[in-house]
Amino acid sequence: MKYYLTTPIYYVNAAPHIGHTYTTIAADAIKRFKRMQGFDPVVLTTGTDEHGQKVERAAKAAGKTPEEFTTAVAAEFRRQWDEFGLQYDRFVRTSDPRHHETVRWLFERCMKNGHIYKGSYTGQYCVFDELYVNEAKPGDPCPDCGRPTETVTEENYFFKLSAFTERLLDLYEKQPDFILPESRRNEVLSFVKQGLNDLSITRTTIKWGIPVPVEGHHVFYVWFDALIAYMTAVKDTDLWPADLHLIGKEIVRFHAIFWPAFLWAADLPLPKHIYAHGWLLFEHDKMSKSRGNIVRAEPIRKVMGADALRYFLLREIVFGQDGSFSYDALIGRYNSELANGLGNLASRTLTLIQQYRGGAVPAGNAQQVQKVACETIGTTADAFYHFEFSKGLEAIWTLLSAVDKFIVEQAPWNLAKRPDGEAQLDSALYAAAEALRIATALLSPILPESCAKIWSQLGMPEPLESVRLDSLAWGQLRAGQKIGQIAAVFPRIDAKPAIEKMRELETQVSAEQAVLLGKAPAVSQQPAPAGPQITIDDFSKIDLRVGQVLSAERVKGADKLLHLKVDLAEAKPRSIVAGIAEAYAPEALVGRKVVIVANLAPRKLRGLTSNGMIVAASIEGGKPVLAGFLEDIPVGARLK
Ligand code: MSP
């Protein structure tokens, strides 16, 4: 039986970061687990969502056409997934003409069935979220991102979403596992119960999109476009409907409300499940561009390997809930659970077989290990089936500790010295190796690379990927099997240099991504010559403080200036006039932590008093780039 699953189709106006990697890793782990369950084929689709005003603007800022820009960013997503060994089968780009065709086809089916009409719309629109903000007045901020909304009036095609309200409620009722986990289902349920408005699904204000048939100046609204990519990927196959759309919680409404309604309107079958996982935070804080605390996965992969990150994300975070990433926690778990836990047990077991049985697995058995191992197969399979990765991993680690304890109790090194210890030694070694085989197979969807190594060290003849859950039963390890070459799978990692290296690579990768997105000059320039020497006392005269931008607006008649209100943990916010208007949109600065020269004598600029100066780096002819922090730091802290 087939299993078709998808990740979100990622926006190309940002380069991939650890949040995107989190979803794609989880999807890859599910794919591998489904294969173990016996589904065939298991097909995973990912891709890029390339249309809309934000992309049009980003391309312009990068000095590229939208086609050039989206091609470059889509390639970067693919490169990341390839280097991570993520097994996606289809990569859809919404700018692909085949996708255009599917969107028009679906639109025409909805139209023919009478679910689309033409109307006129005036309202507030959030360019950032590509969303009309219902009930907002001109000047209101977007409720999702807080950025200012724009007033637009358009003649649009509308989708009769309101007509599907009852049918949607009935769906959530009859198929309680349509939206998972349950907390998300409840959220959607109470939203839909308030009633739904019709949805405008075309735009005339945007050029970069899929043209609506007949109406050349209309393009499709990005969500009418992007969701259909799940279908484009498998059109002309029998893989539709999808078995699972795996997404982050912020896009659950689009998937659980719009998508089923579009499909019903076109007389097409619905996906079976939508699973919305939680947010990955950085040290308990939401990752965002304005906070400057975005973490990329590539430096972690380069320093610690892909499996270290896969393990951490799926073990640390209860899938479905929000969770936090930190380098310390990553290395902590790696050393204690992978290096000392799994890695040690594997090399210990194999070394004992090498030492006492010349590298051939002996025949024997030990009931107590068999019992725990069999229970673990059941618990883990059940947990993974419900996407409870951390619970499944916990069960496997219970097995690993039980085997560890068993080896210590059996003390093979003593048995080997006793003439009557042979049979017990055989049994102890067989049981440990067999438990290791089972644990390795169960873990393979989560740790594919490392488990393949342990698998071949165990001398298993068949490829790990061909192992199925129902052939995992105890006793399948063949006596007499020769083990392979023993090597450490998880060498211990020294935290301090590893974190330093990852941070260094993070700076490098984020600079490379900035170039890709056209946010920084590509050519490296000669730095300006060093200034005259000063003493530490000279330096300490400069009072540099951490500030947070509370508001920012353009200064009338001055193209380069922004007027900022900055919180320095003083009684009142500071008014600061900064020459950064060409590099930063005012709304992008709100909430951002910056460095302020706090004791600069006040100056008047265009009638506004500037009480301090914002610190930025720039190169000759380049735009200023604000100084900021990777870690969080309280407002008012002094830089020394
Ligand atoms: N283009 C839309 C999706 C259209 S699907 C038909 C979109 N793109 S996105 O690039 O913003 O990707 C959002 C998805 O990336 C989230 O739903 C989630 O899967 C993943 N994540 C991005 N940042 C994340 C975190 N900080 N934490 C967890 N997941 C994150 O929305």
pTM of the model: 0.81
Alpha carbons 453 and 440: distance in angstroms, whole number: 10
Going 395 to 401 to 407 to 409, the CA torsion angle's sign is negative
Share of residues in the chain with pLDDT > 70 (%): 97
Alpha carbons 390 and 316: distance in angstroms, whole number: 7
β-strands 3-11, 42-49 pairing: parallel
What amino acid occupies position 173? Answer: E
Per-residue model confidence as pLDDT tens digits over 197-217: 999 999 887 889 999 998 878
Lowest-pLDDT choice from 229-238, 242-251, 382-391, 509-518 = 509-518
In terms of phi and psi (left: phi > 0; alpha: psi -120 to 50; beta: otherwise), the region of 557 is left
- CB-based contact 432:349 (threshold 8 Å): yes
Q: 3-class SS at 55?
A: helix
Q: 3-class SS at 496?
A: helix
Supply the residue whose CA is at minimum distance from atom 14 of ligand 1.
248
What's the pLDDT score for residue 622? 66
* Residue position matching structure tokens 């910056």: 594
Per-residue model confidence as pLDDT tens digits over 390-426: 999 999 999 999 999 999 999 999 999 999 999 999 9
Q: Could you tell me the distance, in angstroms and rounded to a whole number, from the CA of residue 401 to the centre of ligand 1? A: 37
pLDDT (average), residues 101-128: 92
Alpha carbons 441 and 445: distance in angstroms, whole number: 8
Cα 293 to the center of its chain, rounded Å: 14
Supply the residue whose CA is at minimum distance from atom 28 of ligand 1.
279
What's the pLDDT score for residue 621? 58
* Average pLDDT of the chain, as a whole number: 93
- CB-based contact 260:110 (threshold 8 Å): no
Locate the ligand 1 atom nearest the alpha carbon of residue 250 and give its number.
17
- Residue 573 exposed, middle or buried by CB count within 10 Å (0-12, 13-18, 19+): middle
Q: How far apart are the first and last CA of the chain?
A: 63
Locate the ligand 1 atom nearest the alpha carbon of residue 251 and give its number.
17
Locate the ligand 1 atom nearest the alpha carbon of residue 278 and give its number.
28
pLDDT (average), residues 266-285: 94
Q: Is the pLDDT of residue 522 over 60?
A: no
- Strands of 301-445, DSSP E: 323-325
What's the pLDDT score for residue 16? 94
Locate the ligand 1 atom nearest the alpha carbon of residue 248 and give its number.
17
Supply the residue whose CA is at minimum distance from atom 30 of ligand 1.
19
Supply the residue whose CA is at minimum distance from atom 6 of ligand 1.
227
Q: Could you tell me the distance, in angstroms and rounded to a whole number, from the CA of residue 115 to the centre of ligand 1? A: 29
- CB-based contact 454:489 (threshold 8 Å): yes
Supply the residue whose CA is at minimum distance from atom 25 of ligand 1.
19
- CB-based contact 57:100 (threshold 8 Å): no
What's the pLDDT score for residue 341? 98
Q: Could you tell me the distance, in angstroms and rounded to a whole number, from the CA of residue 535 to the centre of ligand 1? A: 49
Beta-carbon-side half-sphere exposure of residue 461 (alpha carbons within 13 Å): 7
Q: Is the pLDDT of residue 235 over 80?
A: yes
Alpha carbons 356 and 376: distance in angstroms, whole number: 28
Q: Is the pLDDT of residue 524 over 80?
A: no
Supply the residue whose CA is at minimum distance from atom 19 of ligand 1.
248
Q: Could you tell me the distance, in angstroms and rounded to a whole number, from the CA of residue 226 to the centre of ligand 1? A: 12
Q: Could you tell me the distance, in angstroms and rounded to a whole number, from the CA of residue 297 to the centre of ligand 1? A: 15
Per-residue model confidence as pLDDT tens digits over 441-484: 999 999 999 999 999 999 999 999 999 998 899 999 999 999 99
User: Which uninterrupted H or E stretch holds 356?
Assistant: helix 344-357
In terms of phi and psi (left: phi > 0; alpha: psi -120 to 50; beta: otherwise), the region of 133 is beta
Q: Could you tell me the distance, in angstroms and rounded to a whole number, from the CA of residue 477 to the centre of ligand 1? A: 42
- Ligand 1, residues at Cβ distance < 6 Å: 8-11, 19-20, 22-23, 49, 226-227, 229, 247-248, 250-251, 279-280, 287
Lowest-pLDDT choice from 438-452, 477-491, 566-580 = 566-580
Q: Give the mutation target among 6, 11, 25 for probing the ligand 1 site: most ligand atoms within 8 A of CB.
A: 11
- CB-based contact 324:19 (threshold 8 Å): no
Cα dihedral value 448, 450, 454, 456, nearest 10: 70
Alpha carbons 414 and 359: distance in angstroms, whole number: 19
Supply the residue whose CA is at minimum distance from atom 18 of ligand 1.
248
What's the pLDDT score for residue 521? 54
Q: Give the mutation target among 5, 9, 13, 20 for probing the ligand 1 site: most ligand atoms within 8 A of CB.
A: 20
Lowest-pLDDT choice from 127-131, 237-241, 272-276, 290-294 = 127-131
What's the pLDDT score for residue 115? 98
* Residue position matching structure tokens 């210590």: 408
Supply the residue whose CA is at minimum distance from atom 4 of ligand 1.
9
Lowest-pLDDT choice from 184-193, 345-354, 426-435, 535-544 = 535-544
Alpha carbons 202 and 219: distance in angstroms, whole number: 5
Supply the residue whose CA is at minimum distance from atom 23 of ligand 1.
19
What's the pLDDT score for residue 556? 85
CA-to-CA separations, 455 to 97, 315, 450, 476, in angstroms, rounded = 44, 21, 9, 14
* Residue position matching structure tokens 């997503």: 77
Beta-carbon-side half-sphere exposure of residue 151 (alpha carbons within 13 Å): 6
Supply the residue whose CA is at minimum distance from atom 16 of ligand 1.
248
Q: 3-class SS at 283?
A: coil
* Residue position matching structure tokens 């090194």: 413
Beta bridge partners of 47: 9, 92
Q: Could you tell me the distance, in angstroms and rounded to a whole number, from the CA of residue 249 to the centre of ligand 1? A: 9
Q: 3-class SS at 179?
A: strand
Q: Could you tell me the distance, in angstroms and rounded to a whole number, from the CA of residue 520 to the centre of ligand 1? A: 24
- CB-based contact 428:416 (threshold 8 Å): no
Q: Is the pLDDT of residue 523 over 80?
A: no
Q: Could you tell me the distance, in angstroms and rounded to a whole number, from the CA of residue 397 to the centre of ligand 1? A: 31
What's the pLDDT score for residue 139? 83
Cα 433 to the center of its chain, rounded Å: 35
Q: Could you tell me the distance, in angstroms and rounded to a whole number, from the CA of residue 380 to the centre of ligand 1? A: 28
- Residue 632 exposed, middle or buried by CB count within 10 Å (0-12, 13-18, 19+): middle
What's the pLDDT score for residue 520? 65
Q: Could you tell me the distance, in angstroms and rounded to a whole number, from the CA of residue 205 to the centre of ligand 1? A: 25
Torsions phi, psi for 27 (to 5 deg): -65, -40
Share of residues in the chain with pLDDT > 90 (%): 76
Alpha carbons 586 and 563: distance in angstroms, whole number: 9
Torsions phi, psi for 36 (to 5 deg): -60, -35
Q: What band does 437 get if pLDDT is binned at 50, 70 and 90?
A: very high
- CB-based contact 256:178 (threshold 8 Å): yes
∠ CA 31-37-39 to the nearest 5 degrees?
A: 65
CA-to-CA separations, 62 to 57, 491, 516, in angstroms, rounded = 9, 42, 8
What's the pLDDT score for residue 525? 47
Per-residue model confidence as pLDDT tens digits over 612-629: 999 998 766 567 889 988
- CB-based contact 416:356 (threshold 8 Å): yes
Q: Could you tell me the distance, in angstroms and rounded to a whole number, from the CA of residue 65 to the centre of ligand 1? A: 24
Supply the residue whose CA is at minimum distance from atom 8 of ligand 1.
10
- Nearest C-alpha neighbor of 226 from the set 45, 19, 50, 6: 50
Alpha carbons 104 and 114: distance in angstroms, whole number: 15
What's the pLDDT score for residue 385? 98
Alpha carbons 453 and 489: distance in angstroms, whole number: 7
Ordered DSSP codes for 502-543: HHHHHHHHHHHHHHHTTSS-SS--PPPPP-----HHHHHTS-
Q: Could you tell me the distance, in angstroms and rounded to a whole number, from the CA of residue 555 to the centre of ligand 1? A: 35
Q: Give the mutation target among 73, 126, 130, 247 for probing the ligand 1 site: most ligand atoms within 8 A of CB.
A: 247
- Nearest C-alpha neighbor of 31 from the set 4, 58, 70, 68: 4
292 or 540, higher pLDDT = 540
Q: Could you tell me the distance, in angstroms and rounded to a whole number, from the CA of residue 248 to the centre of ligand 1? A: 6
User: Which uninterrupted H or E stretch holds 311?
Assistant: helix 306-316
Alpha carbons 563 and 287: distance in angstroms, whole number: 26
What's the pLDDT score for residue 504? 94
DSSP 291: T
Locate the ligand 1 atom nearest the alpha carbon of residue 230 and give its number.
6
Q: Could you tell me the distance, in angstroms and rounded to a whole number, from the CA of residue 256 to the centre of ligand 1? A: 15
Alpha carbons 158 and 202: distance in angstroms, whole number: 8
